[in-house]
């Protein structure tokens, strides 16, 4: 007989009671945008998320179950393969952010660097623009924004129309 995993239906504004059991739930940025489905915790435990749709999960956020015997879950940003982009001056970094934004690329923005999911096409484009691009593995915390799970469509005056889905970008052929 299959064991039913604990079901988590709600966010909790703060940490659990002192003695409550807690599990860590490492999720990629994309997984944090999907609030429903089976997931595996850091310790191998399986859980079922049935959270309200529309808001991505945030690293550090607590989830609780209606079952008082169930453990609490803390969302973590799982390590992902990333590109770290740096420039000799702020203007070049701003220009890189602009061009990546035009491609609907999810970005984590810092004062002296940008981070994005590893993509060889984008790495080449950025290096060609004279930016320093390094590959690393780490948590990815992109800015909430246009890519975040919504889609929209529009038409141009020449009669051409198209749609933009969340998470598109140069890697998916969208320019």
Whether residue 173 has pLDDT greater than 50? no
Q: Where are the domains of the chain?
A: 7-77, 79-148
Q: Which CATH class is domain 79-148?
A: alpha beta
Q: Please, which residues have CB within 8 angstroms of residue 81's CB and are 6 or more apart in sequence?
A: 117, 118, 135, 136, 137
What is the CATH topology of the domain spanning 7-77? Answer: HSP40/DNAj peptide-binding domain (2.60.260)
Strand, helix or coil for residue 96: helix
Interval 117-168: pLDDT, tens: 999 999 999 999 999 999 999 999 999 875 454 433 344 455 544 444 444 3
The pTM for the full model equals: 0.76
Q: Strand pairing of 46-50 and 7-8?
A: parallel
> For the chain, what is the mean pLDDT?
85
């Amino acid at each position: 007989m299959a064991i039913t995993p604990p079901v988590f239906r709600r966010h909790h504004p703060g940490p659990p009671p002192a003695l409550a059991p807690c599990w860590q739930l490492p999720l990629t940025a994309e997984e944090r945008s999907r609030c429903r489905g089976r997931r595996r915790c850091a310790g191998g435990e399986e859980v079922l998320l049935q959270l309200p749709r529309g808001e991505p999960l945030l690293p550090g956020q607590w989830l609780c179950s209606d079952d008082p015997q169930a453990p609490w879950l803390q969302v973590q940003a799982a390590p992902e393969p990333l590109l770290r982009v740096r420039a000799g001056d702020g203007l070049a970094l701003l220009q890189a952010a602009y061009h990546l934004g035009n491609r609907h690329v999810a970005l984590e923005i810092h004062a002296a660097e940008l981070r994005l999911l590893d993509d060889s096409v984008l790495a080449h484009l950025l290096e060609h623009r004279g930016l320093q691009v390094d590959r690393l593995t780490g948590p990815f915390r992109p800015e909430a924004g246009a890519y975040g799970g919504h889609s929209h469509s529009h038409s141009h005056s020449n009669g051409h129309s198209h749609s933009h889905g969340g998470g598109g970008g140069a890697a998916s052929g969208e320019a």
